[in-house]
Structure formats: C-alpha cells, structure tokens
Amino acid sequence: MNTLNKYLFKQSLIPFLLSVAVITTVLFLQFLIRAVDRFLGKGLDVLTIFEYLYLNLAWIIALSVPMSLLISSVMTFGRMAQQNEITALKSAGVNLYNIIKPAILFGSLVGIGLCLFNNFILPEMNYNARLLARDIYKKKPELSIEPGYFVDMIPQYTMIVKEMDGNNFKDVKIFSKNNNSEQTTIYANEGSLSSDGNKITIDLIDGEIHEIDLSDYDYYRKIKFKTHQIMISMDDLMLNRTSESNRTDREMRVPQMIKEIEKNKNLISQIYTRIDKVKKELGIKNPNASTLATIEKEIELLKQKKNNPITEERDYDKEVEISAFENKDYILSLTNNARQFKNEFTLIENYEKTNNKFKVEIHKKFTLALACILFTMVGAPLGILVRNGGMTIASGLSIAFFLVYYILLIWGEQLADRSLLNPGLGSWLPNIVLFVSGIIVLKLSNKKN
C-alpha cells in the first residue's frame, strides 16, 4: 500500500469509528427508553439488566455500521474537497477513481466483517436475547408472537396470526403437530394471552375446530365455538423454548435456514401427495386441477353430477340406482373433502411464506454487507460535491440516503414475505438502486472536479 492509500485509509478510519460510536449510542438510547417498562417491577438484578442490554447491541451494531460508513465517507471527502486536497491530488495526475479506491477498499473490509458478524454473532445474540427476555417475563410471562410467523414453542401445536396488538391477536390459525394419523386445525377470528405465573392461557373467540383422519378424508369432524381455551404449562414452555427448531429467521445462520427451507419443502411435498391421493379417490382426473380453486370447481362438478341424474356409472361399467341416502352421504363426503383441501392449501401457503422469510433473511446477510461498499461509493463523491465535511450536512445527506435504502429494504422484504415478489429481487433491489445512485453521483463529482 503506497503513501497516498495509507493516508486516505487513515482518514476514513477515524470518522468511521466516531460515527459508529455516535449512531450506536443514539439507537441504543432509543431502545433503552422502549425497554424500561420491561424491567420495572420485575425485581431484576443489575447484571441481568446489563446482560439483556448487551445482547441487544448486536442488531443495533448491524444497523449502525452501514450508516456510519456513509456518514464518514461524506465527512472525510467533504473535508478534503473543502481544503483543496482533492484538487491538489487531481493536479498531480491522480484521477478521482483512484482517490476514492482506498475508501471503497475500506468499505469492503468493513463489509466482510459485517457479513461474518451477521452470519455468526448476530443470530446467537438475538437468540440469547429472546431467551433472556422470556426469563425476565417469568413473573408475568408472555408468548413472543410475531404476525406472519409460525410459532412453534407451543407444545403439540403450530400457530400463526395475521395481526397482533399487545396480548390480543386477530385471524389465528393453529395446526396440530407430531401426529401422522390425525390432523387438528383451529381457526379463530380473535384471541388473547393471559397468565397466572404457572401457566399461559390462550383464549380463542369465534372460531372452528376441524379434525380429520389423514388416511381417510371422509372421517371429518367440525366443531364451532364461541370461546375455546388452550392451557400451556410454563414448565413445558420453558423446556420447549430451548429447542433449536424454535429459532426465528433472525436467530439462524445460513445453513440452519437452508435446512429449514428443505424441511418445509418436504412437508409441502407430503401435503401435495395427500392431495393427489384424495383427488384420485374422488375421481378427479383433470390434470390442471392443481390449485384450490380448480379442485373446488371439480368437486362442484361432481356434486352436480350426483344431484342431477339418478344413476351413476361405476368402474365396472354397470349402471346402478343410487338411493337418496347414498346420494346425500356422498355429497357430505365431497363437502368434507373440500374443507380439508382448503386446510391443506392453507398449510402450503403458510409454509411457502415461511420459506420466503428464510430466503429474504439469507439474502439480507449478504446485501447489508455489500451495502457497506455501495454506501462508501455513494458517500465519497457526494462529500466532494458538497465540499463540506461538517457533521450536520454529512448526517443530513447520509440519513436521507439511508432512509431511502431502508424503506426499499423493508418494502422489498414485505412483498417477498407475501409471495408478491421474488425473495432475491426484493432483497437486492435496494442495493441495485444504491449502485445506480453511486454511479450517477460519481460521474457528477468527476465532472465538477
């Protein structure tokens, strides 16, 4: 590394460390203010509180590092432009691309470090922070339910909710697990959580319980309820929470998420196998009947065929008369099968959404690392354009760019989670926009200087 590169590298380091310290402190204080109520009235010792705050530093650092690179780049090259160092370097025959190359190299090193941090340290600290939070809540325990995510810590059940407001939730679906012969599915419009210190109670309001034998869809039972309770022992919950399978996407490394994706794909394949088996038993031969809508249409055609004629052609090519009782029983069987098909496709949809969340998180571990390089590529020429290394302008411009990037990141993630956008495209879209912005700012800076 020549003298110029060493100088530029050193000039980037100090503002970066300063920016990391300031931004991390600001974000940490905001988190601390929101978390104060978690500690009040719990009787916690100081070490436990500090451990909880320390574990939550991980996601704060992961967020502050890319933003710090953007701010430090604007500050560093803005100061150099203001003091005519950039002009002097260009007069000596050094072009702009070579001037910002050390800064991009510095951003690359930080990006590699952030990538390793996001893959190995961040998941573990997020996981341990959640477990510690559960321990803190033992005096007033709550389930950490995140809308749109499967909740696996409930013994014997998998749960997913659409909306969550405190301890109240709406549009909840609960599926039985660890049972290969019978499936229980619970739907409820509303629900809530409560506890008395020894157990957690899930109160469900206005819903249905569907029970079916997976080997024969004709054995189907439907129960409507106004209220329904599920009791969970705290001992069972605390034992269950330590299972590796209960990690959320933000608490997993890439290999773990890939393993979960493959597991969900196998479950989806098993569901499709069951669907194909029942379709064959019902006599649905349409090869295009592969979605819920098309299967329901085929079932309606079978019902119409039974309701209109008084005879049915059997497989042995004889026509036999069908009694009213047999006809009614057959229609009921078709209705039960239609309901179970709906349950099966709901499971498939939820598994696919979960896989999309995993895929988005996998991409994010690398897109945020690459963003370090792109933020440097944007910040360096942007600082030269404004020709001012002051903290106010640097922070203002950096926050504006970072907000746009973060909004695109959240927008792409949400669309991908809802299967409206490819997870890869949704995750990389902010980086593509940032790269194009960097090229434009770089060309403008080169023309101006």
Q: How many domains does the chain have?
A: 3
The answer to whether position 438 is within a domain reads yes
Tell me, yes or no, whether 320 and 374 share the same domain. Answer: no
Task: State the CB neighbour count (10 A cutoff) for residue 291.
Answer: 10
CA 346 to chain centre: 19
327, 354, 381 - which closes a domain: 354
The DSSP bridge partners found for residue 168 are: 165, 192
Q: Is residue 321 part of a domain?
A: yes
Say what the pTM is.
0.73
Residue 152 covered by a domain = no
Residues 367 and 346 in one domain: no
CA 442 to the chain's CA centroid: 34
Same domain, 222 and 117: no
Q: How far apart are CA 315 and CA 373, in angstroms?
A: 68
- Give the end of a domain, one of 247, 278, 307: 247
Q: Determine the 3-state secondary structure of 143 from DSSP.
A: coil
Q: How many CB atoms lie within 10 A of CB 91?
A: 9
- Structural domain containing residue 11: 3-139+363-448
Q: Where are the alpha helices (DSSP H) in 92-215?
A: 96-116, 122-136
pLDDT in tens, the chain (449 residues): 578 888 888 888 999 999 999 999 999 999 998 887 666 655 677 888 899 899 999 999 999 999 999 988 988 898 888 888 988 988 888 888 889 999 999 999 999 999 999 999 999 999 998 888 777 765 554 445 667 777 766 667 788 888 888 778 889 988 887 556 678 889 999 998 777 766 778 899 999 998 887 776 667 788 899 999 988 776 655 544 444 447 888 899 999 999 999 999 999 999 999 999 999 988 898 888 999 999 999 998 888 876 665 444 444 444 444 455 567 777 878 888 888 898 899 899 989 999 999 999 999 999 999 999 999 999 998 888 876 545 577 667 778 888 899 999 999 988 988 888 999 999 999 999 999 999 998 888 887 65
| 176, two tokens | 């039985």
Which residue, 247, 263, 288, sits at the end of a domain?
A: 247
Q: Considering the domain boundaries, does residue 398 fall inside one?
A: yes
Instruction: Judge if 198 and 127 occupy the same domain.
Output: no
The answer to whether residue 395 sits within a structural domain is yes
In terms of domains, do 101 and 121 share one? yes
pLDDT tens digit string along 187-221?
999 998 777 766 778 899 999 998 887 776 667 78
> Quick check: is 147 in a domain?
no
Tell me if residue 355 falls in helix, strand or coil.
helix
CB 110 within 8 A of CB 372: yes
The answer to whether residue 272 is domain-embedded is yes
Task: Say yes or no: 386 and 304 in one domain.
Answer: no
Same structural domain for residues 164 and 48?
Answer: no
In a domain, 144, yes or no: no
Helix ranges (DSSP H) in 193-291: 234-241, 254-282
- Same domain for 230 and 282, yes or no, is no
pLDDT digits (tens, 9 = 90+) for 237-250: 554 444 444 788 88
Percent of the chain residues topping a pLDDT of 70? 82
pLDDT value of position 375: 94
**Token output for 350:** 């939820």
- 199 with 234: CB under 8 angstroms? yes
User: CA-CA distances (angstroms) from residue 411 to 365, 369, 404?
Assistant: 17, 19, 10
pLDDT tens string 276-330: 999 998 889 888 899 999 999 999 888 887 666 544 444 444 444 445 556 777 7
- Considering the domain architecture, whether residues 243 and 271 belong to the same structural domain is answered as no
7 and 135 housed in the same domain: yes
Nearest alpha-carbon partner for 361 in 129, 133, 149: 149
284 and 379 fall within a common domain: no
Same domain, 264 and 237: no
